Amino acid sequence: MSKTVITPPGRWDLPSVKELWEAREVLVSFGRRDVLLRYRQTVIGIAWVILQPLASAGIFAIVFGQVADLPSNGVPYFIFAFAGQLAWNVFSGVASRSSSSLVANQSLVSKVFFPRMLVPLSTILAVLVDYAVAFGLFVVLLFVYGINPGWPILLVPFWTLLAVLLGAAIGVASSAVMVKYRDVGYALPWVIQILMYATPVAYSLEAVPANLLWIFNINPLTWLLEGFRWSLLGQAAPEAWQVVALVVVSGLAFTGGALIFQKLERGFADVI
Amino acid sequence: MADPAVAVKGLSKSYRIAKSGFRPTTAAEAVINRVKHPLHKPEYEDFEALKDVDFEVPWGEALGIIGRNGAGKSTLLKLLTRITAPSTGRIELGGRVGSLLEVGTGFHPELTGRENVYLNGTLLGMRRKEIQRRFDEIVDFSGVEKFLETPVKRYSSGMYVRLAFAVAAHLETEILAIDEVLAVGDAEFQAKSLAKMRDVARDGRTVLYVSHQAQTVSALCTRAIYLDQGKLTYAGNVEDALAEYRNSFTSFHVAQQDASRRAGTGELRFTEAAIAEETMEPTEDKVIEFAVNANPDLVGSYFVSCHINDMNGNIVVQCDSRLVGLWLDPTVPQRGALTIKDLWLKPGKYTYDLYVCKTGILDAWEGAGAFEILPNPPYPEVTSDEALTHGMVLADFQYERW
């Protein structure tokens, strides 16, 4: 029989991987609950998952492709914007959903024990379900437009993982801060929107003036988006250093987010 | 299993309470406050909810944790179930702890009964396979099989509680922690639950039970600890712990006279409370006089309530002034009296609690006073004591022969 010892927490603890693993079923339960609930009282249900990216890709195609007449690396603007949306939604979906998750589940946090980090992490599952549906739609679009991205498409899971890590880094840390300061709930969507315009999601790097390019090139999300577009649309591959740096940044960011979370965690039940 | 199920050593938990009364709730406020008073260090007062508690619970014991309000019972259970972390000390647990701090934790109103059983079960520490195996048992126990596919928001509150408790009762964790859940549900269901809890202890598992309902503690527990203002002052058999609880009234009563130590928002406070007579015959009218201060800032009227408790902390009656249409104006000081007629109390000692309420509780004066009912049964005949031992109160009754 396993023996558990509880002692006062240290200053900077990393979450116990063993404990997280033992409670994996809680993660699945939460994820299942989120997915079940999301479309239960809707009329068209899961069709929302398809409609949303289609509509926003359509608007981007009109505003950036037609009105502003920006280049799109030689593919139709619609699918170009759709691919960007697909990637961006993983990152922003994980970040925004997980950030509000702890406050939304505060009654649980103050009443039962489970590794708290599972609450923000479980939102990833629901985001991935949406992503899978949208990805299926994307594959259909690839056939419709007759685009063959080639073997790099096999790397999609790799980019997805990095997008999840970056999103979770922000989400996990801000969910913990939001327990005490609800401001985060107002600031984060706005920050994410600014980030979206600062990142080539709806436009391509081609359209960026050369003197501003360096700003875009130091943004890890640019590297991520370039990676995605390479895999999804067969466009130019990101530079090797960017890929390496992206892996390092995602890993560090996630660890940092987890540390912040863990540091604030011990106060949750007392503050909420 | 030589090791005890639970071993607690030197356990303390302190909360920091900001002294200045200013507590930033938004980051902006925190920053502004910092800029305004760059050198001002926030002053904190340490409030020790638990002080240096040591005890052990062997396997198969049902341990009752008793104490007055604010004695640290719930804090102790929160530490044992890991909801909050200790400040110092060490807890060793010999197995998984299933906790049940409030029934229905994690129930989601939109999910069906079946989905909630799984969600709640995993949250409480069960494996999915365990739930699958015991699913029929759980549903049987709860008696809501017809409504398994209905969202629980459409359940009656009784069904809701029953299903929630059924899940918890089938937890297979080695240690089970419970906080006053038995107070809910109808009598039949309560009896069922008590039996279930006893089974759990008989299986060699361990139950930790927090309550101020003395009856359930003595019905369920094999041992008890008594907490007084965060300190463990007694550990041993249930009867003696309950005696300790009864004896603690005087000190509790003195402490509660200081209004700042009472629960409630404090917007209004009782200034006086007194019982007209401190010793009474069982059938006499009970008259409790009270006075409440004024608060010109409050809008709308308020009401008061009174509980009469027996010495084991069981509430005998509740007298809510709303029921008789008494509402008071908070802008002027108020005086009044509560008269309870036709309540025949059994001989013994009683205490009363007074409450000022509006939308929430403004003042909760527990242990506001005590009185004694003289051992003079109000019946025409004198007979052996067993004719009077059962029941909570006495009644004006008669038999007729047809």
Query: In this predicted structure, what is the pLDDT of residue A11?
Result: 66
Chain mean pLDDT for chain A? 87
Chain mean pLDDT for chain B? 83
In terms of CA atoms, which chain A residue is nearest residue B110?
Answer: A37
Closest Cβ opposite residue B106 in set A1, A36, A108:
A108
Flag whether pLDDT at B343 surpasses 70: yes
Q: Residue B88 and residue A33: Cβ atoms within 8 Å?
A: no
Of the ranges A105-119, B167-181, B351-365, which is most confident?
Answer: B351-365
Mean pLDDT lowest among A35-44, A120-129, A167-176, B146-155: A35-44
Gap between the Cα atoms of B179 and B258, Å rounded: 28
Q: How would you list the strands of the sheet with B44-57, edge to edge?
A: A4-6, B88-93, B6-18, B44-57
What are the C-alpha distances in Å from B51 to residues A35, B87, B208, B227? 44, 10, 19, 10
Q: What are phi and psi of B170, to 5 degrees?
A: -100, 10
What are the C-alpha distances in Å from A240 to residues A152, A166, A223, A243, A247? 14, 19, 10, 5, 11
Higher model confidence: residue B339 or residue A13? Answer: B339
Residue A10 lies in a domain: no
SS (H, E, C) chain B: CCCCCEEEEEEEEEEEEECCCCCCCCHHHHHHHHHHCCCCCCCEEEEEEEEEEEEEECCCCEEEEEECCCCCHHHHHHHHCCCCCCCEEEEEECCCEEEECCCCCCCCCCCEHHHHHHHHHHHCCCCHHHHHHHHHHHHHHHCCHHHCCCEHHHCCHHHHHHHHHHHHHCCCCCEEEEECHHHCCCHHHHHHHHHHHHHHHHCCCEEEEECCCHHHHHHHCCEEEEEECCEEEEEECHHHHHHHHHHCHHHHHHHHHCHHHCECCCCCCEEEEEECCCEECCCCCEEEEEEECCCCCCCCCEEEEEEEEECCCCEEEEEEHHHHCCCECCCCCEEEEEEECCCEECCEEEEEEEEEECCCEEEEEEEEEEEEECCCCCCCCCCCHHHCCCCCEECCCCCCCC
Domain count, chain A: 1
Residue B222 banded pLDDT, cuts 50, 70, 90: confident
Query: To the nearest whole angstrom, how far is the Cα of A183 from the nearest Cα of chain B?
Result: 6
Closest CA to A128 of A40, A27, A233: A27
Mean pLDDT lowest among A111-125, A198-212, B42-56: B42-56
Return the C-alpha torsion angle B158, B163, B165, B166, nearest 10. Answer: 140
Q: At what angle do helices A24-38 and A118-145 cross, to 10 degrees?
A: 60
Q: Which domain holds residue A47?
A: 17-271
Residues B301-337 as b or e (16 or more Cβ within 10 Å = b) = ebbbbbbbbbbbbeeebebebeeeeeebebeeebeee
What count of other Cβ atoms lies within 10 Å of the Cβ of residue B228?
17
pTM for this predicted structure: 0.73
Span A86-103, average pLDDT: 92
Q: What is the pLDDT of residues B225-260, one digit of tens each?
A: 988 888 888 888 888 888 888 787 777 778 788 887
Query: In this predicted structure, what is the pLDDT of residue B187?
Result: 64
Gap between the Cα atoms of A223 and A217, Å rounded: 7
Residue A158 banded pLDDT, cuts 50, 70, 90: very high
Query: In this predicted structure, what is the pLDDT of residue A215?
Result: 86
Query: To the nearest whole angstrom, how far is the Cα of A215 from the nearest Cα of chain B?
Result: 29
Closest Cβ opposite residue B119 in set A8, A29, A41:
A29
Flag whether pLDDT at A100 surpasses 80: yes
Query: To the nearest whole angstrom, how far is the Cα of A144 from the nearest Cα of chain B?
Result: 39
The structure tokens listed for B144 are 């809501």
Gap between the Cα atoms of B314 and B307, Å rounded: 10
Chain B residues with CB inside 8 Å of A3's CB?
3, 92-95
What are the C-alpha distances in Å from A208 to residues A60, A70, A86, A194? 16, 10, 21, 16
Residue A3 lies in a domain: no
Gap between the Cα atoms of B87 and B14, Å rounded: 6
Gap between the Cα atoms of A88 and B349, Å rounded: 70
Gap between the Cα atoms of A46 and B261, Å rounded: 54
Query: In this predicted structure, what is the pLDDT of residue A225?
Result: 92
Gap between the Cα atoms of B123 and B119, Å rounded: 6
Q: Check CB contact of B32 with chain A, cutoff 8 Å.
A: no
In terms of CA atoms, which chain B residue is nearest residue A183?
Answer: B26
The structure tokens listed for A33 are 């609950």
Flag whether pLDDT at B22 surpasses 70: no
Q: Which residues of A touch B (CB under 8 A)?
A: 1-9, 25-26, 28-30, 32-33, 36-37, 40-41, 107-114, 177, 180-184, 266, 269-270
Query: To the nearest whole angstrom, how far is the Cα of A62 from the nearest Cα of chain B?
Result: 39
Residue A238 lies in a domain: yes
Say which residue the tokens 């600890």 belong to. Answer: B225
Closest Cβ opposite residue B26 in set A28, A32, A181:
A181
Structural fold of domain B1-95+214-247: Rossmann fold (3.40.50)
Closest CA to A176 of A90, A242, A268, A243: A268
Gap between the Cα atoms of A157 and B199, Å rounded: 50
Residue A98 lies in a domain: yes
Flag whether pLDDT at B24 surpasses 80: no
Chain B residues with CB inside 8 Å of A113's CB?
81-83, 97, 99
Span B71-86, average pLDDT: 84
Query: In this predicted structure, what is the pLDDT of residue B180?
Result: 65
How many residues are recorded in chain B? Answer: 402
Higher model confidence: residue B232 or residue B44? Answer: B232
Gap between the Cα atoms of B371 and B351, Å rounded: 6
3-state class of A4 per DSSP?
strand
Higher model confidence: residue A233 or residue A7? Answer: A233
Please report, rounded to a whole number, the percentage of residues in chain B having pLDDT higher than 90. Answer: 13
Gap between the Cα atoms of A94 and A92, Å rounded: 5
The secondary structure element, H or E, covering residue A210 is none
Span A106-112, average pLDDT: 79
Residue A4 lies in a domain: no
Closest CA to B328 of B353, B301, B295: B301
The structure tokens listed for B133 are 């195996």
Closest CA to B267 of B235, B297, B224: B297
Residue A152 lies in a domain: yes
Q: Which of residues 94-123 of B touch A (CB under 8 A)?
A: 94-97, 99, 101-102, 105-106, 108, 110-111, 115, 118-119, 122-123
Closest Cβ opposite residue B102 in set A29, A111, A182:
A111
Q: Are B373 and B346 in contact (CB under 8 A)?
A: yes
The structure tokens listed for B89 are 């000390």
Query: In this predicted structure, what is the pLDDT of residue B123?
Result: 83
Query: In this predicted structure, what is the pLDDT of residue B254?
Result: 80
Mean pLDDT lowest among A73-87, A144-158, B193-207: B193-207
Gap between the Cα atoms of A178 and A184, Å rounded: 6
What are the start and end residues of each CATH 3.40.50.300 domain in chain B? 1-95+214-247
Gap between the Cα atoms of A166 and A91, Å rounded: 7
Q: Residue B83 and residue A113: Cβ atoms within 8 Å?
A: yes
Q: Residue A29 and residue B122: Cβ atoms within 8 Å?
A: yes
Higher model confidence: residue A107 or residue A269? Answer: A107
Q: Check CB contact of B349 with chain A, cutoff 8 Å.
A: no
The secondary structure element, H or E, covering residue A178 is helix A156-180
Q: What is the pLDDT of residues B285-312, one digit of tens each?
A: 999 999 999 988 888 899 999 999 887 7
Residue A9 lies in a domain: no
Span A201-220, average pLDDT: 86
Q: Which residues contact B187 (CB under 8 A, 6 or more apart)?
A: none
Residue A171 lies in a domain: yes
Flag whether pLDDT at A96 surpasses 90: yes
Flag whether pLDDT at A45 surpasses 80: no
In terms of CA atoms, which chain B residue is nearest residue A106?
Answer: B106
Span B142-163, average pLDDT: 85
B258-378 CATH, one of 2.60.110.10, 3.30.70.2740, 2.70.50.60, 3.10.20.30 = 2.70.50.60
The secondary structure element, H or E, covering residue A5 is strand A4-6
Closest Cβ opposite residue B28 in set A9, A33, A183:
A183
Residue B70 banded pLDDT, cuts 50, 70, 90: confident
